[in-house]
Amino acid sequence: MGSIVGVNLALLAALLLVPVLGGAFFAWQIGLFLIYGIAAQGVGFAWGRGGFLPLGNALFFGLGAYSAAAVLRVTDGALLVNLLAMLITALACGALAFGLAVLLFRGRIGSGPGFSLVTLALVLIAGQIAETTPALTGGFNGLSGYAPLAGLDPFGAFYYVIVALVMLVSCGFLLIDRLPAGLILRGLVAQEGRLELLGFALHRVKGWAFAVSAFVTSLAGALYASHQGIVTPQAIGFALSAELVIWAAVGGRMSPLGPLLGAVVIGWASATLRDTVAWWEVAVAAVFLLVILFLPGGAMDLVNRALHRLGLGPRPKALPPLAAPASRASTATGALELSDVGLSAGTVTILDGLSLRAAPQGVLCVIGPNGAGKTTMLNAITGRMPTQKGVVSLGGRRLTGRAPHQMLAQGIARKMQVPTVFAGLTVAQNLQLAMLAGRLNWRDALRPAPLRWQGDTLAALLDDPDVPLAAAWLKSAEHLPQGHRQLLELALTLAPDPRLVLLDEPAAGMSPAETQIMVRLIRAYQQRSGAAVLIIEHDMALVEALASEVAVLHQGRVLAQGTLAVIRADPQVTAVYAGGHK
């Protein structure tokens, strides 16, 4: 897949050759499928980069097409007015999509089929309205009899307008892939939970992805109006939405150019072969099924693999690192305080009036038998589970009621019990994402420099002879052994320089030697930064080595808190541990 410039020049050359080699009629045909292809790229972006599948993107295509047709009719195709109107409609579609996604994803809907079904229902409603309001849309018979954009002949110059949009959109998508914004989206698909812990609001990230998808799809719809000279309810219907998904899937949703390829090849082949090859539609459905079963990356996957084999694969250039700005997480101060926190799920009470204080500096180890509520306590602190009573605060600022993604800005970072890293990404990309956390503002998301950010904490970790991450730089994180994955997650957690580090069994699955390294790294960070560290651990060796203070949790309450010696002497604690282990 060479460089961006190379890919785009090849694409441009291929598109410009179409009318030269195939003639005006062929270019007109391909023009329609390029328009569909842009819309499919929009679907592919939401699906492949946003991780959610819109089943109703013809909504934006249709809105773009209908409003373009209406404006073309009134203005007789005048160029500037129409370009402006197209842009305004596309922006409105983007805003609509953003609002919709934020609203839905902020709720409990997740990236699952729930969202897809909402978009499906929306496009059914839109199709019904388009069909039954003839005054507005011309009804079933459609809106026609208007001049094309700037009077351009759909069989002539208009093709180059389509090519221009294809180039703009493709360049845009290829560029986004190489910017922090693209990395964040990859992180979203790879591991939502970690991205949230890194301080990114998932519903807003998904909102932007859907907005871009809608913006692009609406522009495609606007060109469709000029290309066809008629807009009918099919342009806003479920059937088109479904086809966009098929094209994106078969072409390859993970690649910016895949859906374009899918739309042009399947669309053109259908138009040409439909009347001569019996069973053509069955064949397309069968191909779709086979792709779902055996080739999730679509046709572009095959192309990329072939390019790779020919030695044309991507060769990441190592650029010198840049000093990262200060992290927002590093400025917080104060003690963590939980007072009388209650949390129950269903009829089971998990936290039962828990009160706990962690000093602004030092290492507090929380121990306790299974089911004591240790991990739930972390969930209550980080806003992952709603509490029913009590208050959690840090340095006097109330944390209760805040969303998980707001915790990093409060200075809180968390390492999960099961190592949670961006599985599909390389170690390098994992760490790049961690360096963006707490430091990125929205303008930075669209310039490449932040990808080279490096901080002292991360540099110290990578320079450590016992940390093998630098050697595995370009390895995918899912292929790391368990112990290395724990270290990677520790790096992800510490890179934003948090003031309160929550570690949930950091040594789980590690050998004694690896545990030693972990202990050393945690202590080093604590001493260098003067942060507070709260560790949940079963491994008493680790507790002994690290803890400046220990708290014992039992049945959702703090049984005892103090130095290790005090805890060891506490008769209540010994009773629980004697009885707790069956």
Partner 1 sequence: MKRLLITTALGLSLGVAGAAMADVRLGVLVPDSGPAGLFGPSARQAAQLAAEDINTAGGINGEPVELIFADVGLPPAQAVQSVQRLWRAEGVQGFVGMHDSAVRAAIVGQLRGQVPYVYTAVYEGGECAPGTYVTGETPAQQLAPVIPWLAEHEGATNWYLIGNDYNWPRDTNAAAQEIIAASGGSVVGEEYVPLGSSDFDASLGRIRASGADAVLVTLVGGDSVGFNVAYAAFGLDAQALRLGTLIEENTLAGIGAANANRLFASMGFFASIDSDTARAYTDRLTAQFGADAAQPNGMGQSVYDGLMLMAALGNAAGSLDSDAVAAVADGASFSSPRGMATLDGNHVAQTIYLADGSSGAFEVVTSFDAVPSGVTCD
Partner 2 sequence: MDTLVLFTLNATWQIAALALMALGLALVFGLLRIMNMAHGEFVMLGAYAPVLAAQLGLPALAAVPICLMMVGLTAWLVERLVVRHLYARMFDSLLATWALSILMRKGAELVFGRQFRNVASPLDGVTQIGAIGYPSYRLAVIALVLAGGLGLWLWYRRSATGLRLKAMVDNPALAQAVGINTARLSAMAFVSGCLMAGLAGMLLAPTLSISPGMGLDALIRSFFALIVGGLGSLEGLALGASVIGGLQSGLSAAFTQTAGYLGVLSLAILFLWRYPDGLYRRR
Q: Footprint of partner 2 on this chain (CB under 8 A)?
A: 53, 103-104, 107-110, 112-118, 121-122, 124-125, 128, 132, 242, 245, 249, 279, 281-282, 285-286, 288-289, 292-293, 296, 346
Q: Which does 229 bind (CB under 5 to 8 A by kind): partner 2, partner 1, none?
A: partner 1
**Nearest one of 275, 277, 253 to 263, comparing CA atoms:** 253
Q: Coil, strand or helix: which one is 438?
A: coil
The secondary element (H helix, E strand) that includes residue 93 is helix 79-106
Q: Which does 103 bind (CB under 5 to 8 A by kind): partner 1, partner 2, none?
A: partner 2
Using the rule CB under 8 A, which residue among 190, 240, 291, 518 binds partner 1? 240
Give me the residues paired with residue 365 across strands: 535, 550
Q: Which does 474 bind (CB under 5 to 8 A by kind): partner 1, partner 2, none?
A: none
Q: How far apart are CA 413 and CA 494, in angstroms?
A: 7
Kind of pairing between the strands at 143-144 and 230-231:
antiparallel
CB of 236 to partner 1, least distance (A): 11
Helix, strand, coil content of the chain in percent (nearest 5): 60, 10, 30
Tally the residues of the chain. Answer: 582
Q: Which does 571 bind (CB under 5 to 8 A by kind): partner 1, partner 2, none?
A: none
Query: DSSP code of 325?
Result: P
Using the rule CB under 8 A, which residue among 8, 111, 270, 454 binds partner 1? 270
CB of 288 to partner 2, least distance (A): 4
Interface with partner 1, residue 424, by CB under 8 A: no
Q: Which does 21 bind (CB under 5 to 8 A by kind): partner 1, partner 2, none?
A: partner 1
The secondary element (H helix, E strand) that includes residue 363 is strand 362-367
Interface with partner 1, residue 160, by CB under 8 A: no
Q: How far apart are CA 351 and CA 148, in angstroms?
A: 66
Residue 4 Cα distances to 170, 173, 175, angstroms: 10, 10, 8
Interface with partner 1, residue 25, by CB under 8 A: yes
Other C-beta atoms closer than 10 Å to the C-beta of 467 total 18
Q: Which does 288 bind (CB under 5 to 8 A by kind): partner 1, partner 2, none?
A: partner 2
Identity of the residue, 101 or 358, whose beta carbon is nearer to partner 2 in the bound complex: 101
- Residue range at the interface with partner 1 (CB under 8 A); choices 75-83, 136-144, 475-483, 512-520: 136-144
Q: How far apart are CA 364 and CA 561, in angstroms?
A: 9
How many Å is the Cα radius of gyration of the chain? Answer: 28
Q: Which two tokens stand for residue 433?
A: 């994402």
Q: Which does 121 bind (CB under 5 to 8 A by kind): partner 2, partner 1, none?
A: partner 2
Using the rule CB under 8 A, which residue among 29, 217, 330, 529 binds partner 1? 29
Q: Coil, strand or helix: which one is 497?
A: coil
Residue 31 in contact with residue 159, Cβ under 8 Å?
yes
Interface with partner 1, residue 285, by CB under 8 A: no
Q: Which does 270 bind (CB under 5 to 8 A by kind): partner 2, partner 1, none?
A: partner 1
Interface with partner 1, residue 41, by CB under 8 A: no
Interface with partner 1, residue 331, by CB under 8 A: no
Q: Which two tokens stand for residue 191?
A: 């591991």
Q: How far apart are CA 459 and CA 93, in angstroms?
A: 43
Interface with partner 1, residue 577, by CB under 8 A: no
Identity of the residue, 208 or 247, whose beta carbon is nearer to partner 1 in the bound complex: 247
Binding site for partner 1 (CB under 8 A): 14, 17-18, 21-23, 25-26, 28-29, 32, 128, 131-132, 134, 139-142, 144-145, 224, 228-230, 232-235, 237, 239-240, 261, 265, 268, 270-272, 274-275, 281, 303
